[in-house]
Structure 1
Amino acid sequence: MKTKSLLLAALFAALTAIGGFIKIPIPYVPFTLQIAAVYLAGCLLGPKLGMLSQLVYVLVGLAGAPVFAEGGGPSYVLQPTFGYLIGFAAGAYVNGWLMQIFQFRKAATVFLANLSALFAVYLFGCSWLYIAMKWIVEKPLTIGQTLWFGFLLPVPGDLLLCAVCSILVARMLPRIHSVIRKQEVVS
């Protein structure tokens, strides 16, 4: 990989970490701004690099850096919210893949790619929340409770961020492509 690509992945990993410190505590799954970095990573970096940025974030946290919303370290795998972190990597990949395949450029279509990323995050997150509460924490939630606390409570804010990031990406992409074309002409 080129140095520039690795730097971009590290930048978006850092943005995800920063988003984890901006949170609104709600039961079980705090609302954070991390998902905004996931949307932007997938849309702007593409599937592989977007996913890499989120894997770097997760690995840095598991290595012990307190970058997650509730700390860090290898034992974080046992936290009920760990599935959302895995979902970040999957979401960035899905988002980037859709952006790449369908060449989304308008805010409405970028919103669909972001919505797909959000679905991936919640799929992994709610699944792990249910499993962790039942077998690790031993305070089982019903499927309905899992969906309430793990999806319905935090999703309104994530949908708002989905819309905002869609508008940002739609406005940023033409400028980014213009800069890339100028660099290619100079090279």
Structure 2
Amino acid sequence: MKLKEMAYAGLFAAITAVMAQISIPLPFTPVPITFQVLAVCMAGAVLGSKLGALSMLVYDLLGAIGIPVFAGFKGGFSAIVGPSGGYIIAFPVAAFFAGYILERAKGYNKLMSFISMFVGLVLIYLVGMVQLAVVAKMSLLKAFYAGVVPFVPLDIVKVVIAALVVEPLRKSIMSFSNV
């Protein structure tokens, strides 16, 4: 792996940590509204499947060892195994698939960017919802209403925003990489 690639992976892990701190707790669920999803989806779409997944794995590992990178400046293994940990666990998988879909598409465009990142978002919801149900001892339906439904409208907006900026950002990074 090239030094530039490691730097980009670290950069997106750091961006995700910053976006996690834009956090709004909700009184009816242990899952806060954050902007992590935006960073996760963009990591895969901009860096590609492997490097995007690596950046989110770095983020997850930093948090797991206790560095306060998760929402509300939380860190530690307890955050990973807690009610909202499934969302965090899904970040590398979501970034991988967002990047993978775009790598298989014929060129970057806004629609394919949106679709790839939407798939990543759905994966985050699925894993997060299942862990929320298990840890909080609730049915999958209740976990769906507590851990998915309230987040869909804003997350769709985040994915639309990401789809609009992914292509120019990727081109900018690629042109910088060739210097």
TM-score computed with the length of structure 1 as normaliser: 0.88
Q: Who is 2:123 aligned against?
A: 120
Q: Contact 2:23–2:33 at 8 Å: present in 1 too?
A: yes
* Residue 45 of structure 2 is aligned to residue 48 of structure 1: no
* Residue 76 of structure 2 is aligned to residue 98 of structure 1: no
Counterpart CA distance in 2 for 1:58 and 1:148 is: 25
Letter in 1 for 2:116: A
Report Cα offsets for 1:83-118 as digits up to 9, x if no partner: 001111110000010111114422112100110110
SS of equivalent to 1:154: helix
The RMSD of aligned alpha carbons is: 1.5
Q: Who is 1:84 aligned against?
A: 87
Structure 2: unaligned runs, 5 residues or longer: none
Task: Report how far residue 177 of structure 1 moved.
Answer: 4.3
Letter in 2 for 1:148: Y
**How is 1:12-91 mapped onto 2 (pairs within 5 angstroms)?**
12-26=12-26, 27-70=29-72, 71-91=74-94
Question: Where does structure 1 differ by over 3 angstroms across 4 or more consecutive aligned residues?
Answer: 173-180
Counterpart CA distance in 2 for 1:10 and 1:176 is: 14
TM-score computed with the length of structure 2 as normaliser: 0.92
Structure 1: unaligned runs, 5 residues or longer: 135-140
After superposing the two structures, state which structure 1 stretch, 170-179 or 44-53, moved more: 170-179
Task: Report how far residue 50 of structure 1 moved.
Answer: 0.4
Task: Give 1 or 2 for the bigger CA radius of gyration.
Answer: 1
Report Cα offsets for 1:117-170 as digits up to 9, x if no partner: 101111111111111112xxxxxx222211011110112111100000000013
**How is 1:168-187 mapped onto 2 (pairs within 5 angstroms)?**
168-180=165-177, 183=179
Residues paired across the two proteins, number: 176
Counterpart CA distance in 2 for 1:5 and 1:170 is: 18
Counterpart CA distance in 2 for 1:103 and 1:30 is: 36
Quick one: percent identity of the two aligned structures?
Answer: 35
Q: Contact 1:46–1:97 at 8 Å: present in 2 too?
A: yes
